[in-house]
Amino acid sequence: MKRLIILFTIYYSLFTILSAGLTDFKTIEKANKAYEAKEYGKSAAFLEGIKKSNATSELHYNLGNTYYKKGYYDKAIEEYKTAKGVDEASRQYNLGNSYFKNGDLNKSIESFEKSLKLKDDPETRHNLEVAKKEKKKKKKKQEQKKKDNKDKKDDKKKDNKKKNDKKKDNKKDNKKKQNKDKKNEDKKDKQKQDQKKKDKQKKDEKDKEGKKKKDGNKDKNDAKKKNKPKDKKGDKSSVKPNEQKKMSKEEKLKAQELKRLMKKMQKGKTPTMMYQLGKSNKHKQTITVNPW
């Protein structure tokens, strides 16, 4: 702000004319000197010391000035509010400045407008425009802040949605993976079962072939046994083939001669009786003479 109205000098003389005591007068003088020396805290302390005994509007106004300079805007506002009876245009102007410094732009504008209604002042108009611009700026910042907060909320919602969607996708992927793993396990189990069946079929086929082979060999053996000629009972040569006696040369000759004679007799149709001399149990005899 461009200015702050200080009325120490004006109201100091008036305060003296009015029935102020000597002690209060000296205190006000000290407060005035401290203010001029920019020792605002010291000035405020002097004025606070006589506040109870001389709580006039002028004292409250001057105390408000010292608090404003000190930067205690809340206290300055309280003192200006109590200082009714001094120049109202100046009081509203100083209230407008204090509200502005305290960040209450609406009340600052309101105080400046009241001051302008009482007195048209270029500095008051200037401060009013500054307060209005600051209000717009503040409003714009608040709107931007709201927008940013809204954007943050939206971004947060989007992030949460993305996270939730990601979780859902992960769940779906996990479920798909589980289903796939289950299918693979089922497939493996089926392959194992199929392999077992194949192995069993091969084994059964092998057993069947072995059985057929065995049965075939049995049948062949049975057929061989069946086709093999049976030995006659009492046939010593069949029972003991190795014990057959070899025919001698003489016996072979006899057999051939007998065969020849038989053929001749058949041609001649002559009844003939022949005896074949063989071996005897009692005597061994060899006949060399022909019977005819």
| C-alpha span between 259 and 280 (Å, rounded) | 22
Q: Which domain holds residue 121?
A: 8-140
User: Do the domain assignments include residue 229?
Assistant: no
User: Do the domain assignments include residue 239?
Assistant: no
Q: What is the count of structural domains for the chain? A: 1
Q: What is the CATH number of the domain that holds 69?
A: 1.25.40.10
Question: Going by C-beta distance under 8 Å and a sequence separation of 6 or more, which residues neighbour residue 135?
Answer: 105, 106, 109
User: Do the domain assignments include residue 261?
Assistant: no
Could you give the 3-state DSSP secondary structure of residue 252?
helix
Mean pLDDT across the chain: 79
CB 51 within 8 A of CB 83: no
pLDDT tens per residue, range 182-240: 888 888 888 888 888 888 888 888 888 777 777 777 666 666 666 655 554 444 444 44
| The model's pTM | 0.52
| C-alpha span between 243 and 251 (Å, rounded) | 18
User: Do the domain assignments include residue 252?
Assistant: no
Could you give the 3-state DSSP secondary structure of residue 86?
strand
User: Do the domain assignments include residue 28?
Assistant: yes
User: Do the domain assignments include residue 41?
Assistant: yes
Number of alpha carbons in the 13 Å side-chain half-sphere of residue 180 = 6
User: Do the domain assignments include residue 17?
Assistant: yes
Beta-bridged to residue 84, according to DSSP, are: 86
User: Do the domain assignments include residue 220?
Assistant: no
Find the mean pLDDT for residues 161-187: 85
